[in-house]
Amino acid sequence: MKPTANSFKEAETTKISQKHTANAFSVNRHLINAKWYHDKFLKLPLPKAVKESLYQSAMTILEHRNGSDFEDLYAIDIETGTVIICSRQATTPLQVGFKIAD
């Protein structure tokens, strides 16, 4: 399946922003913002919508948790790429999970 102009535009505009502090948990912006990083997702043996959803979710996680020792967790439908649920409120460093209700 061929990538669309929309998917490339979306990938080009999804970038990790510059933070004022740097530490051991900081994202390597030059690595993650590079085109080849997005291209690695395009090579996954999954439907295009799933690949793009994985990429966008990864970028959201990296932006949200950049520089912190907290984690986010996403459940993504492997057929459609729809984010089923996500946990973004972890309060324990290096530990995340879904609630029983989820």
Confidence (pLDDT) at 1: 42
Confidence (pLDDT) at 56: 92
In angstroms, rounded to a whole number, what is the distance separating the alpha carbons of residues 98 and 29?
28
pLDDT along the chain (102 residues), means of 10: 50 64 80 89 95 92 84 90 85 75 70
The DSSP-derived string for 4-17 is PHHHHHHHHH--PP
- How many of the other CB atoms lie within 10 Å of CB of 29? 16
Give the distance, in angstroms, between the CA of residue 75 and the centroid of all CA atoms in the same chain. Answer: 12
